[in-house]
């Protein structure tokens, strides 16, 4: 297991479930997110982050504990953390 720990800064869509005027709706903007995790993959138009690992008790199988798939078109910056 040799995955880099990275911080991904990315622009996310915003869903609003409130009733608003069309003018107010047009003022809605996407927002920036920061996520830190193990970079499992960075190819094919996406970054896959994992948030932890579990090793099987009997078979040494490695399991990823929580993942996030971010389209690279939404990514502003990826920083490797040490």
DSSP β-ladder status, 53-55 and 75-80: unpaired
Q: Which residues touch 63 (CB under 8 Å, ≥6 apart)?
A: 53, 54, 55, 56
Pick from 6, 20, 22, 16: nearest CA to 82: 6
| pTM of the entire predicted model | 0.84
| Model pLDDT, residue 31 | 92
Tokens of 34: 């920061």
Cα gap 20→18, rounded to integer Å: 6
Q: pLDDT, tens digit, for every residue of 13-49?
A: 999 899 999 999 999 999 999 999 999 999 999 999 9
Cβ(53)–Cβ(62) under 8 Å? yes
Q: Is the pLDDT of residue 1 over 80?
A: no
């Amino acid at each position: 297991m040799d995955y880099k720990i990275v911080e991904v800064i990315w622009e996310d869509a915003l869903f609003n479930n409130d009733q608003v005027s069309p003018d107010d709706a047009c003022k809605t903007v996407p927002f920036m997110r920061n996520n830190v995790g193990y970079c499992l993959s960075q190819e094919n138009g996406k970054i896959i982050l994992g948030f932890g690992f579990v090793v099987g008790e009997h078979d040494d199988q490695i399991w990823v504990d929580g993942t996030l798939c971010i389209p690279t078109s939404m990514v502003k910056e990826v920083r490797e953390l040490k």
